[in-house]
Structure 1
């Protein structure tokens, strides 16, 4: 190598070293400020959450030793457990970790990855209920998880590896039916063998308690006539548990179609302090949505839940912003996307019905930033929405979940101050 070439390489190495010395560590982009909601603090009718707030206050004061259970039922925003995972983590950091909560009885789709627990299945066939069309029809034998698990293969098993703090006692609850036996193992030891038709009942929920938090729980059916509706993991004692039961593509019609007998035993076993309804996005993409029929459906489901769980608080998450592609003159940066017309109708019905029935309403759309905010969030340097302008990225779910948790905690503090 000549001296000129060597000098050139040395110069380049020197420049590279200088550039390297000037590099800075990666810092995440600052999230946007929450948008302006239709109600102060994002929550309309926050006083409807008094029952939840009473339970949280008793927990905080050491007067309540039972978990405060929050149950969210919804569509893919709930199924992914990213938004609910952030809310769960925030509330558990404040009030204590009482466990993961209710799960579907097996992975309902490939890639299912809920927070705070790892779930794997072999020979275990979870069967999601078919989505309900505008005509509506009941889904017999399907509960709030929207999934049934039926195992016919020898050696089938469902493995659960829960995360969380150590506990003096750990509980697993399983709702099911059939004459078959279910073996539950904790860290390799047989925990229990149960059947669901004892004492003449066709279906039931059974609770099993073990000392401490097991590292691994294994469910094994011993007979071919076993059907499970859900699995609930929790810790005995005070704290918060948040269950997220979502079905991809679901609408409020799917909730209405759930088998009343199964739903009744589930809610009686779970005893939620708050039930959150998180539907509306998929209805918003229905061009033929009938507002009067949708309002009657929503009122009917509120009445149904109040009848089944009289003491629970109720909250509706208003439909978030979402865009449909293939339009001209849309509000997106490229002019090719716009909100489907029915989405605003759904949101208006949700807000009016919540106000009329005394149900809390969270203005998801406003907190995102209003109309076409999904496009703005998708185009950030660190995108908070996916390219479909419907679903959140992991960072976006963490952001909007944090906004919801902050709004709930702010309402709780205001309730305590005004007591």
Structure 2
């Protein structure tokens, strides 16, 4: 077959390698309009974390600004929080990876900045609302029950380097300890059973002489562990993500408050972000009054340290098997109810509220984002793709940093 002129040119173009025709991503969608000014209602509630960030920029703070996000699968996946972490650390410096679950919570778990591998290290993650409330579940929503021969290895990227490790847990039945090996340094943590043979949760800290990027944790005796925190003795930002797949605000409210308060006292968060709502919105027969009670109770748990709180309003989600205006699907009516309760209670209690639903585009935005030539949402119209999570995490970061910049300008004018 003879191809001349334009036909030959088309054939040659099709034969070019990927390096000759570089991939160019599609432009990201614009953030949607919000019911909140610049995306955040009650922004004055965030003054405490703004003061911490300002002290970091001024060079007068010697510890990380700790942002702690607790939520469902959107948080567990760490792609949204990963975008927030990367942007915040690029501006204010890296302050360590932050809090992690006390093991590998599920197959395919892949947090940003670190890799976790476990050997003979069983861990359970309970979605508390699905059954009887278990004893001893803190803010990570999980518990590792470990003994001799187990090993947990955490390997960090350079931005996740750490020189302190905090672990909250307790001995079980008899005294136990953890051996922490990082590089050439080894530290131990002892957990004791009281004279009345009762165990009691406690948080221990190991300090290393120089920043590390890998640690092996090995138990002696039987221990129950609730979390692991990798941090720095320096200024910067760390963003912790504690998410449980399928979790709801009720699950957070039902966690053991004595462990939760112990953890918060050890972690000293400067901002607590709550990211729940989709699972409640998809549940049948949501009772708004009952949901409000669980939300209030959850806020009582996390506000024990007087840290600012930011509620991420429930995002858009579409339900399969329904007939509606969004590509043949519709959003569960309860999702809008959840958002209304969240925003009302946030305003009543002096808590900030981010309009996730509005910023991702409002009605039918899940359908639009899922059907882009480069999809920003998965086919389920509930979860974001990697690029979509990075985008919406960037929108959240931009809204927070925009509010911070406006606050700093106002402070300068007041002075």
Determine if the TM-score, normalized by the shorter chain, exceeds 0.5. yes
Q: Which residue of 2 aligns with 1:295?
A: 292
Q: Are 2:182 and 1:186 aligned?
A: yes
Cα distance in 1 for residues equivalent to 2:262 and 2:279:
28
Could you say if the C-alpha distance between residues 221 and 382 of structure 1 is closer, same or farther in structure 2, counting changes exceeding 3 Å?
same
Unaligned runs of 5+ in 1: none
**Which of residues 129, 136, 145 is equivalent to 1:141?**
136
SS of 1:385's partner is: coil
**TM-aligned CA deviation for residue 138 of structure 1:** 3.4
Q: Displacement of 1:86 after TM fit?
A: 0.2
Cα contact 1:144–1:245 (8 A) shared by 2: yes
- Structure 1 match to 2:152: 158
> Would you say 1:67 and 2:64 are equivalent positions?
yes
Once the two structures are TM-superposed, the CA of residue 371 in structure 1 deviates from its matched residue by 1.1
Q: Which of the two has higher C-alpha Rg?
A: 1
Q: Is 1:137–1:257's contact at 8 Å kept on the other side of the alignment?
A: no
Shift of 1:155: 2.2
Quote the offset at 1:219 in angstroms.
0.4
C-alpha distance in structure 2 between counterparts of 1:21 and 1:76, whole Å: 41
Match of 2:247 among 226, 246, 250: 250
Change (3 A) 1:8 1:318: closer
TM-score, length of structure 1 as denominator length: 0.91
Q: 1:331 to 1:15 in 2, by over 3 A?
A: closer
SS of equivalent residue, structure 2 residue 400: helix
Can you list the C-alpha shifts for 1:42-94, whole angstroms capped at 9, x where unaligned? 00001100000000001110111111111110000000000000001111111
2:407 matched to which residue of 1? 415
Q: Could you tell me how far 1:198 is from its partner in structure 2?
A: 7.2
Could you tell me the TM-score, scaled by structure 2's length?
0.92
After superposition, residues 15-414 of structure 1 pair within 5 angstroms as 16-17=11-12, 19-20=14-15, 24-133=21-130, 137-152=132-147, 154-165=148-159, 170-178=163-171, 179-187=175-183, 189=184, 191-197=186-192, 202-223=200-221, 225-306=222-303, 308-310=304-306, 312-328=307-323, 330-333=324-327, 335=328, 337-414=329-406
**Alpha-carbon spacing, 1:205–1:382, altered in 2? closer, same or farther (3 Å):** same
Runs ≥4 residues deviating over 4 A: 11-15, 18-23, 198-201
Distance, in Å, in 2 between the alignment partners of 1:21 and 1:99 is 43
Q: Quote how far apart the aligned CAs of 1:277 are.
A: 0.7
Partners of 1:33 and 1:261 in 2: how far apart? 43
- Taking the aligned partners of 2:401 and 2:332, their CA distance within structure 1 comes to 32
Summarize the Cα distance change of 1:340–1:98 in structure 2 as closer, same or farther, 3 Å threshold. same
- Superposition RMSD in Å: 2.2
